[in-house]
Structure 1
Amino acid sequence: MVKSVRYGLKEGLPGAVRLSDKKHMAGRGPMTTAVLFRDRQKICRMLMAASSVAALSLTGAAFAADEIVVTAQFREQSLQDTPIAITAVTGEEIETKALSDISDIAAAAPNVTISKAAASFNGVAAYIRGVGQYDPNFALEPGVGMYIDDIYHGVMVGSLFDLLDLDRVEILRGPQGTLAGKNSIGGAIKLFSRKPEGDNSGYISATYGSYDRIEVRGAYDVKITDNAFFRMSAFSKRRDGHVKRLDFRCDRPSEVLPSDTFPNQVTPDGCKIGTLGGVKSWGLRGALRLTPHEDLEVNIFASIVRDDSESPGLEQFAALDPRFLPNRDYTYYGTYTSIPGFSTEPLMTTHMESIGGQIDWEISDNLKITSITGYENIEAVSTVDLDGGPTGELLTYNTTPYHQVTQELRLNGEFGEGLVEWTLGGFYFDSLGNVAGRVYSFPALNWLQDDPVSNNSKSVFAHAILHPVSEMSLIGGIRYTDDKKTYMFSRINPDTGLPADVVGVLEGVGGTYTGDSVDYRVGLDYRFSDGLMAYAQFSTGYKGGGINPRPFIPTQVVPFSSEQVNAYEVGFKSDFADGAVRLNVAAFFNKYDDIILIDTNGYPGGPTDPGWFPLSAVPFNAGKADIKGVEAETTVEPAPGLTLQGSISYLDFEYKSLDPNATASGISSDFVSPFTPEWQWSVNASYEFALSSGATITPQFYAEYQSSIYTDAVNAPSNFIEGRTTANANIAFRTADEGWTAILGVTNIADKHYYTNAFDLLNINGTASKVVARPREFFIKVRKNF
């Protein structure tokens, strides 16, 4: 449907207001507000909030925080010695909070937004400091690099990683242009699994909760020989969907539809014909560690995941017929059946297999070589009922077979008795995928699609740390990247078997993008005392361009260029009050250029431009923006057993110039980048009570706040997500020998109805829907260690 079609807005929901109100609705006010570094009140409020909890420790006993070791600079370092803004979440924290997948991690990190995909494939929209990617198409690169055991995951499809048997998660904020495998312009999220130790240990846990939630997890570690160790881990989880799919004619029999061609679907459960948001998945991982020599370690790992979950829990926000908008929460009227008899189920399935290996060879005391190799195969399916009702006018079935190979080689060394630490390396990435499926949108679009997409990237890099004096480090890094992407198009009419023709045939049309970039990093850090390190750095980041993957007509097969960021950052990391308080603060200023956004308002330009077509989903370089922000994290242990944690962040995004196509597509200078909240904070409090038997009881409360966001570059009510505060709590019992643990918990304590993402096609076909979060849920989890 063209954008002039009649549509309705769901009444009573956030965003059902005039378009002209949206910047005030978002809580941002006019964009003429003073910029961050001149806005003293905002900075002071934030720093006071970050340090107020820390001050509680000054009257309590002192207990040193557990030290966390990270590998952000190609070598093991203490988190507090690493001059990069990093949030590290340990496996123990994942366990005690009963976190399940990567989207649960975002609350712990300032200026990080990880939202489950709205309607396209089992992935996430990941943004750090206002830079990221939400479109899962293979033609677009992730703005935030995703890694498992240092192996780069090159697409957003399948990025909703389960938190299986992890040692830690590292979230690196800011461009990783000279670090972290492949270029990652916004930052990187790195999952590290537990390595085999050969100690014959293991665990098994079982969880039962609301909506028939059942999860089972386990791992076992065995010694094969004195130099070979093996660890096997597995998970299985299922949970019923929280959004009911109802038959419209059954639920609202008084409504009469002129095209009433489908019979009522009355079921034993009244008018319910299914659900959305249900989870059904399982996975296995095996890891083998070999140490044939004291200077050589080989790790080989493989995994398989079978995720057959339902489409996300959607609520229709705008529809071709306003009557299809739900009249109560957690309901949806989509039938997943189209007019020509094409039908499916609400699916968001991902089947993945991967195998990888890492070889670490210490050639000498001052020289080490590391090789990291990975292969990944994905088969994913996603279905979307766009009209959200029984008329069957808009339905898509998408499938994306994909595989990738990565190879990273690093040579680490030092000389001058620690005066200089250096790294030389190279990275290779090659992938091939197909964007395929069936697209039906009455009356204009009806085709079978099968588009091969290839992506090849090669880079070399160098990194050095100079220690002119024992307390100081000078850092320099450089990387050269060469990219090539090819996209071909296939559009066949399923009724005739001939090439589909909207306004020109796309069958056999294609394009190739090539580009390269030189990125670098310079920095300085100085340790003033055992408890205080300060740093300053400048770094650049790059995200490659490509070819528009969703042309409606041949003239829309156009390339888009790469985007770049120049990032300035200062910060400090501190431990004080005899180790009872940890406070880390960073401030940054980013110059963001050639920003890649999506034009959904017709392309190219406006209606008066030659070749303009009203339907479009064209990535293009929209212009420039300044991003300024400050963030703080603290951990406080003011008394034995009591732990307080908190983080807070502020971010100001401002377009400085816009391309004419951006203005023509409806983007305004007072809009903001997708998934960019102005404020975020989180708090966590736990207290461990010791019983006379040696067992412990630990209540824990954790809450988070995220201010409002938009999920599309063209900010509008149809993609507006209201700010929210959510809270969770649990209480854990552990035996004296820590052999048994039982956790009773509740999520979304206030039973708040809120949205996390949006699927906005209002300007393409007159529809929009939003992902509604799960309501209040209870669970009990029991774990046995052995």
Structure 2
Amino acid sequence: MSKSIQRHFLLGGAGAAALLACAPSPAIAQVRSEGETASVGEVVVTARRREERLRDVPVSASVIDVNQLIERGDIVDPQAILNSVPGVKFLDTSSPSNSEITLRGSGQGRGTSTEAAVGLYRNNIYIGGGTIGGRSLSRLDLLDLEQLQVLRGPQGALYGRNAIGGAITVSSARPRWDNRGFVNVNYQFETELKQIQAAVNHAVSDQVAIRLTGEWFDQPKGFFFNASQRNFIDRQEGYALRGQIRFRQDDLDMNLLVEDGLYYLPGLRSAFTVAAGSPGFPFGYFTPKFTSYANDGEPAKQRIQSVIGQLSWESDLGTLSGSTGFRRRITNTENDTDQFDPATLARERARGNATTITDPNTATNNNDDFEALYADFHFAGAQSGRFSWLIGFEAFYSDDQFTTVTGRTPTPANASLGNFLPGRGRYKSWAPYGSIGFKLTDSFSAEGELRYSNDRKERQNFGFTRPTNAPIPAQTSEDSDEFSNLDYALSLTYDLPFDWIVFGRLATGYRAGGFNASVGDPRAPRPVVPTYQPENGTSYEIGAKGDLGRNIFVTLAAYQTEVEDFQGQVDNGCAVTNPVC
């Protein structure tokens, strides 16, 4: 357990209430102004692309808001935030750069070039994608957070790509029309973590407000020690800066966000266990739990830059909402492939072990430069009697340039320093979508959702031997493909007394096909297939939600999800004991 000291300082506020009210959801702010306690079910969510009470939405959802995070110390670690959410599993690889979030068992794409099976959204902008780093939320996404919504079950009809397991939407605190802010100082003894987070909110006029947010942290120690390099694998440091300006007049509300974050994150720690009697390891071998003997590998480096614009315009016909954004994410990881340094390998060989390990200097460096443009506009019609509707359109474009560099010790038989494997992928996508709801009786309602998706992907892979740059034919390929899909959802809701509802939901999700970043070595026992097809998921769910007491809100659900053409990592048959590999 980590011991830490935290100090919170308020700017322009009076007492703890000022900090807690810094960026609440609209429902919480309203309830507080009336001097009452907010029920969890009264929290406003956007699970159906329009603002509704959590208790009224026929979706299994969880909400974490700014007040909960402040009570826990302004956490910006996605694993710490999501571990307590039902149905969510955080696949921790020790490095946040390639960890992954799963929902209801969907999402395990790590180690492949597939997209994640969980839709990740930040301020209504899709932030997934890319070879590295697009399977989880980053520190920057969770800095100065206002609300995080976890929508369980397929959300393909309204949220689109990759939401087979569900969707996670994050809302950053926007400028408000008051003058206040906060400073959070955190120190942890074991790791010597020093962290400062701060935000200043200022109302320039009745129409304009600005908000400036930043963080800096430095953690020189950790819990996993690299005895070869005499440093901690999980050390980290970084900073982030964000500026926002918001304008509102009459029924128009617009916000512009610009941010930049640079992080040195914990490196990828590999470990393996070889049973006694295995080829080349007659006495067995295992990597110590908290100690590594890797003579290569550095902290992962990640830089994220974003520009996000949002608008909302209300009229008698309904509400127009728009979000456009540009996001660039550059990620670099290094890993000692063999997990031996020369001294450790010599010691094991003296025991008669590790005879199949011939080189303690094999290493892998991965670099991913991912740029994405996203736009979404949707119009939610005003409630008219028993009828409701929504129509929208989204477009997405990404350009991903990636390289993998492998290293080895040259020998007289093989003078190669390793391989240089560059590649590039482009992804173009567009989709119209909408929903129609009808209240059949005062208690019974139905809603249908529909989306048509068109996705086109292009991929180029190349391979060269270092240092001669001789081409590697098995690593060279160029492919393109186009996919289309129709996602839908049907929800039935029955209102019970005492603010309870029961609901049934049939929903689908879709993950486009694509191309593997590398087909591997053709000498492997089972070579990798260069392409893969789309994945489709269908879920059947029944549930109920409501209050069990004044401060207890409960969601109960039973579901079954069927997935066709599941995308996942396949085994090429290689093992540490196989000299061919």
After TM superposition, the score normalised by the length of structure 1 is 0.61
Task: Give 1:385's aligned residue.
Answer: 336
The answer for the alignment partner of 1:44 in structure 2 is: none
Q: CA deviation at 1:473?
A: 2.1
Counterpart residue identity of residue 355, structure 1: V
Q: Read off the aligned partner of 2:191 and give its amino acid letter.
A: Y
Question: What is the identity, as a one-letter code, of the residue corresponding to 1:217?
Answer: Q
Partner Cα distance (2:294, 2:517) in 1: 27
1:305 corresponds in structure 2 to: 261
1:515 match: 483
Aligned to 1:333: 293
Aligned pairs for 1:406-417 (under 5 A) are 406-414=374-382, 416-417=384-385
The AA in structure 2 aligned to 1:242 is F
Q: Give yes or no for contact 2:421–2:475 (8 Å, CA) kept in 1.
A: no
> What are structure 2's unaligned runs of at least 5 residues?
1-35, 343-359
Instruction: Name the CA shift for 1:181/1:221 in 2 (closer, same or farther; >3 Å).
Output: farther
Tell me which amino acid in the other structure corresponds to 1:458.
W
Aligned to 1:562: 534
Residue in structure 1 matched with residue 395 of structure 2 by the alignment = 428
Alignment partner of 1:356 out of 299, 305, 308: 308
**Structure 1 contact 422–462 (Cα < 8 Å) conserved:** yes
**Residue of structure 1 in register with 2:461 after alignment:** 489
| Alpha-carbon distance in 1 for matches of 2:80, 2:329 | 23
Are residues 1:294 and 2:250 paired? yes
Structure 1 position 243 matched with structure 2 position 221: no
Deviation at 1:145, TM superposition (A): 1.0
- Equivalent residue number for residue 356 of structure 2: none
Residue identity opposite 2:307 in structure 1: I
* SS of corresponding position for 2:341: coil
Alignment correspondent of 2:471: 499
Please give the per-residue CA displacement for 1:240-270, whole angstroms capped at 9, x wherever unaligned: 23211113xxxxxxxxxxxxxxxxxxxxxxx
CA offsets 1:208-238 (integer angstroms, 9 cap, x no match)? 1121011111111001121011111111122
Determine helix, strand or coil for the equivalent of 2:475.
coil
* Deviation string, structure 1 residues 182-222 (Cα, Å, up to 9, x no partner): 45111111111112113111000100112101111111100
1:530 to 498, 517, 527: 498
Among 453, 467, 482, which residue is 2:439 paired with? 467
Provide the secondary structure at the position in 1 that maps to 2:91: strand
What is the deviation of 1:553?
5.4
Q: Kindly tell me: are residues 118 and 317 of structure 1, through their superposed partners in 2, closer, same or farther at Cα, counting changes over 3 Å?
A: farther
Q: CA offset at residue 327 of structure 1?
A: 7.1
Q: Which residue of 1 aligns with 2:149?
A: 170
- SS of the equivalent of 2:67 reads helix
1:425 offset after TM fit, Å? 0.9
* C-alpha separation in 1, matches of 2:556 and 2:501: 11
Aligned position for 1:401: 369
Q: 5 Å matches for 1:643-682? A: none
1:551-700 paired onto structure 2 within 5 Å = 551-552=519-520, 556=528, 558-577=530-549, 579-602=550-573
Residue 139 (structure 2) pairs with residue 150 (structure 1) = no
Q: How many residues align?
A: 507
SS at match of 2:196: strand
Counterpart AA for 2:290 = Y
**440, 448, 453: which one aligns with 2:420:** 448
Could you tell me which amino acid in structure 2 is paired with residue 437 of structure 1? T
Specify the SS of the correspondent of 1:597. Answer: coil
Aligned 8 A contact 2:200 2:213 in 1: yes
Q: Which has the higher contact order (CA 8 A, sep 6+)?
A: 1
CA contact (8 A) 1:600 1:763 kept: no
Q: Is the 8 A contact 2:474 2:519 kept in 1?
A: no
1:275–1:325 CA distance, 2 compared to 1 (3 A): farther
Q: Is the 8 A contact 2:94 2:268 kept in 1?
A: yes
Structure 1: which 5+ residue stretches go unaligned?
1-61, 248-271, 337-344, 603-614, 616-760, 768-786
Q: CA deviation at 1:287?
A: 1.7
Determine helix, strand or coil for the equivalent of 2:133. coil
TM-score normalised according to structure 2 size? 0.82
CA distance in 1, matches of 2:162, 2:541: 18
Query: Residues 360 and 406 from structure 1, CA distance in 2 versus in 1: closer, same or farther, beyond 3 angstroms?
Result: same
Residue matched to 2:25:
none
Q: Kindly report which structure 2 residues correspond to 1:207-226, keeping only aligned pairs within 5 A, or say none.
A: 207-209=186-188, 210-226=190-206
What SS does the corresponding residue of 1:235 show, helix, strand or coil? strand
- Residue 44 of structure 2: aligned partner: 69
Give the equivalent residue in structure 1 for 2:69: 94
Q: Give deviations 1:566-609, integer Å, cap 9, x for gaps.
A: 100110011144x243221111011111111222235xxxxxxx
My pick for the range that moved more, 321-330 or 385-394, is: 321-330
CA distance in 2: counterparts of 1:111 and 1:147, whole angstroms? 18
| 443-452 or 531-540: bigger deviation | 443-452
| 1:370 to 2:321 alignment | yes
Taking the aligned partners of 2:391 and 2:117, their CA distance within structure 1 comes to 24
- Cα offset for 1:415? 5.4
Aligned-residue offset at 1:93: 1.0
Task: Tell me, yes or no, if structure 1 residue 457 matches structure 2 residue 457.
Answer: no
Aligned-partner Cα distance in 1 for 2:341–2:288: 18
Q: Is the 8 A contact 1:166 1:193 kept in 2?
A: yes
